[in-house]
């Protein structure tokens, strides 16, 4: 009989009033068995006791044998040579004379494994001391640079105590970007922690994983200079750096939506620094008692100071300048002034810049190219050569690549031909292309342009040659007494 709560209440009430089981059953019109079941409150309608039956086959002896197999596997530490349920059953039959079924042993092995192992998804809540550690990780995002849609990589860093954040974008995840990102992060936080927690990035790890990781020589030198300990996570163990894993998603949802649009990577990164500062000022982690800003200023006192010497994070090469006044670096070419032809120079490749030096002097700077077979030219590197070889001006690749098409078309209309075009390019180098285009746009449409006209507009004379002076000039009266005495005038 199904007993509802109203009936259960009446049974319990009558029983508390001292009525007998027989009387309660007769009064309520139910069986005495039902009254007996519910009258003393040992059970509740709708609740069933869990069924449990102790196995009569899995006794202490086979159970202990199964556990001994587990212990043996643990001592050997061989993932591919461990006891299976089938192998344990076979050994029980052969060594212990077990007469039960294989399915029984399979179930027992499965149950005992669960009892004596830690669930792989189980996490321990962590707490960090101020200045103890930073967690870092990479993410991906899509942006528009100069109207072109492209994928970039976001470097994320998070202080473990204060949960303050750092986010910057890079073109790639190479070693130069990895080191430069951390260098910028230390500058932003104003110090270096004791430990840096990261995954097993190929640019940082030579071999091994987790606590057995051996860092590359380049990363080991960087860590030694900034005096932090490298802690690498185990493979596929994002939970070991959960703070920064959350930051990767948070920054993409909050800083990259809507899809950012900018003229340069520098502009995007400047905006991200503003976002990080705003996060510091306004954010409070739900599980913390103080704000991120308060915790950061507390933690900053425990960070080690950034070294005075700035570690060189570049990849360095020493190529020879080729016949086209270019040097090859990482499968791409970069121009230098023609006077350095066939000389050996030093190329330093940073995350997004390439610096070229000769005898310690900087001679060229380029935005870094990625991929292969590309060339970055600078018009100023070739202008001296173009003045000597004027006939090549309209076919010169540095001109075609670096000068606006509008300016080249305008140069073709100059009455002096190639020589006038070279003079126009010299003005572009000296004054900037934007200024020359501004002059072009200011001229009336009917005027045939000449370089002299352009120069006139670049060097505007003063409106008048007159010098305006005040009409009121104070003149002091001379004292002639001494002069009169000298001349004998009384």
Place of tokens 């900053």: 300
Give the whole-angstrom CA distance, residue 381 versus residue 358: 15
pLDDT band per the 50, 70, 90 thresholds, residue 52: low
- Band of pLDDT at residue 123, cut at 50, 70 and 90: low
d(C-alpha 198, C-alpha 230), whole Å? 8
Q: What counts of helices (H) and strands (E) characterise the chain?
A: 18, 15
Question: Percent of the chain beyond pLDDT 70?
Answer: 90
Strands (DSSP E) along 41-147, which ranges? 133-145
Query: Is residue 163 within 8 Å of 285, Cβ to Cβ?
Result: yes
Residue 292: band (very low, low, confident or very high) from pLDDT cuts 50, 70, 90: very high
Q: Which two tokens stand for residue 204?
A: 């940082």
Residues 245-260: what's their mean pLDDT? Answer: 92
Q: Say what the pTM is.
A: 0.67
**pLDDT of 119 above 90:** no
Percent residues over pLDDT 90 in the chain: 53
Distance CA 203, CA 142 (A): 23
> Tens digits of per-residue pLDDT, 362-411?
999 999 999 999 999 999 999 999 999 999 999 999 999 999 998 998 88
pLDDT at 207 over 80: no
Question: Does pLDDT of 468 surpass 70?
Answer: no
Q: Has residue 470 got a pLDDT over 80?
A: no
Q: Mean pLDDT in the chain?
A: 87
- The pLDDT of residue 238 is 52
- Given a contact cutoff of 8 angstroms between Cβ atoms, the answer to whether 254 and 271 are in contact is no
Q: Beta strands 229-232 and 195-198: pairing type?
A: parallel
pLDDT at 428: 92
103, 105, 111, 112: CA torsion to nearest 10: -170
Residue 215: partners with Cβ closer than 8 Å, 6 or more residues away: 204, 205, 206, 223, 230, 232
| Max mean pLDDT range (48-62, 70-84, 288-302) | 288-302
pLDDT of residue 309: 92
Q: Which of 455, 449, 377 has the alpha carbon at shortest distance from 406? A: 449
Give residue 210's pLDDT band: very low, low, confident or very high (50, 70, 90). Answer: low
Q: What is the mean pLDDT of residues 75-84?
A: 87
In this predicted structure, the answer to whether residue 55 has a pLDDT above a threshold of 60 is no
| DSSP one-letter code for 234 | P
Check residue 255 and give its pLDDT: 94
Q: What is the per-residue pLDDT for 218?
A: 87
Cβ neighbors of 152 (< 8 A, separation 6 or more) are 140, 141, 142, 143, 169, 170, 171, 265
> ∠ CA(407), CA(411), CA(413), 5° rounding?
125
pLDDT in tens, 126-148: 778 899 999 999 999 999 998 89
Q: What CA–CA distance (Å, rounded) separates 25 from 250?
A: 65
Taking only the tens place, the pLDDT of each residue in 422-434 is 999 999 999 988 9
Residue 50 has pLDDT above 80, yes or no: no
Which of the residue ranges 25-39, 42-56, 171-185, 440-454 has the most confident prediction, judged by mean pLDDT? Answer: 171-185
**CA quadruple 355, 361, 363, 367: dihedral, nearest 10:** 10
Torsion-angle region of 94 (φ positive above 0: left; ψ -120 to 50: alpha; else: beta): alpha
List, for residues 397-416, the tens digit of each pLDDT value: 999 999 999 899 888 888 88
Please report where in the chains the tokens 């009336």 appear, as a residue. 444
Give the pLDDT band of residue 464 (cuts 50, 70, 90).
Answer: low
> What pLDDT does 233 receive?
81
pLDDT of residue 476: 76
Extract the tokens encoding 431: 């004054």
131-140, 290-299, 322-331, 411-420: least confidently modelled range:
411-420
CB crowding 103-141: b at 16 or more within 10 Å, else e: eebeebbeebeeeeeeeeeeeeeeebebbbbbbbbbbeb
Q: What angle do CA 189, 195, 200 make, to 5 degrees?
A: 105
Rounded CA separation 307/291 (Å)? 29
How far, in Å, are 63, 173, 174, 276, 280 from residue 247 at the CA level?
47, 18, 21, 11, 13
Comparing 179-188, 223-232, 265-274, the range with the smallest average pLDDT is 223-232
The pLDDT score that the predictor gives to residue 364 is 95
Over its C-alpha atoms, the chain yields an Rg (Å, rounded) of 42
Q: 320: helix, coil or strand?
A: strand
């Amino acid at each position: 009989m199904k007993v509802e709560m109203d009936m259960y209440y009446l049974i319990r009430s009558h029983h508390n009033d001292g009525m007998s089981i027989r009387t309660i059953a007769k009064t309520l019109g139910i069986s005495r068995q039902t009254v007996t079941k519910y009258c003393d409150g040992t059970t509740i309608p709708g609740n069933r006791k869990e069924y449990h039956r102790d196995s009569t086959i899995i006794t202490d002896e086979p159970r202990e044998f199964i556990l001994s197999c587990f212990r043996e596997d643990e001592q050997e530490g061989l993932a591919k040579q461990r006891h299976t349920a089938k192998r344990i059953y076979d050994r029980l039959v052969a060594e212990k004379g077990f007469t039960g079924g294989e399915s029984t042993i399979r179930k027992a092995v499965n149950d005992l494994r669960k009892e004596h192992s830690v669930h792989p998804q189980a996490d321990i809540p962590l707490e960090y001391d101020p200045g103890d550690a930073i967690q870092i990780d990479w993410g991906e995002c899509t942006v528009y640079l100069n109207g072109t849609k492209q994928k970039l990589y976001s470097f994320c860093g998070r202080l473990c105590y204060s949960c303050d954040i750092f986010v910057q974008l890079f073109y790639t995840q190479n070693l130069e970007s990895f080191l430069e990102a951390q260098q910028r992060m230390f500058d932003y936080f104003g110090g270096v922690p004791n430990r840096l927690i990261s995954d097993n990035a190929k640019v940082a790890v030579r071999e091994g994983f987790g606590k057995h990781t051996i860092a590359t020589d380049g990363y080991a030198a960087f860590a030694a200079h900034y005096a932090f300990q490298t802690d690498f996570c185990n493979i596929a163990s994002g939970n070991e750096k959960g703070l920064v894993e959350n930051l990767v998603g948070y920054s993409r949802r909050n800083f990259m939506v809507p899809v950012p649009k900018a003229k340069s990577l520098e502009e995007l990164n400047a905006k991200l620094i503003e976002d990080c500062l705003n996060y510091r000022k306004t954010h409070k982690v739900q599980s913390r008692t103080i704000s991120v800003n308060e915790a950061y200023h507390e933690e900053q006192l425990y960070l080690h100071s950034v070294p005075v010497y700035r570690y060189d994070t570049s990849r360095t090469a020493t190529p020879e300048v080729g016949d086209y006044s270019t040097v090859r670096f990482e499968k791409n070419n970069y121009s230098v002034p023609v006077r350095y032809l066939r000389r050996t120079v030093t190329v330093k490749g940073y995350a997004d810049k390439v610096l070229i030096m000769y005898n310690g002097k900087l001679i060229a700077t380029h935005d870094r190219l990625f991929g292969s077979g590309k060339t970055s030219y600078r018009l100023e590197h070739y202008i001296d050569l173009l003045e000597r070889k004027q006939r090549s001006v309209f076919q010169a690749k540095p001109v075609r690549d670096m000068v606006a098409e509008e300016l080249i078309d305008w140069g073709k209309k100059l009455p002096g031909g190639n020589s006038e075009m070279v003079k126009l390019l010299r003005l572009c180098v000296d004054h900037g292309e934007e200024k020359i285009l501004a002059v072009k746009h200011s001229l009336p449409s009917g005027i045939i342009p000449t370089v002299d006209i352009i120069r006139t507009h670049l060097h505007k004379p003063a409106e008048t040659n007159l010098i305006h002076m005040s009409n009121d000039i104070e003149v002091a009266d001379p004292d002639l007494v001494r002069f009169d005495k000298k001349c004998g005038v009384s």
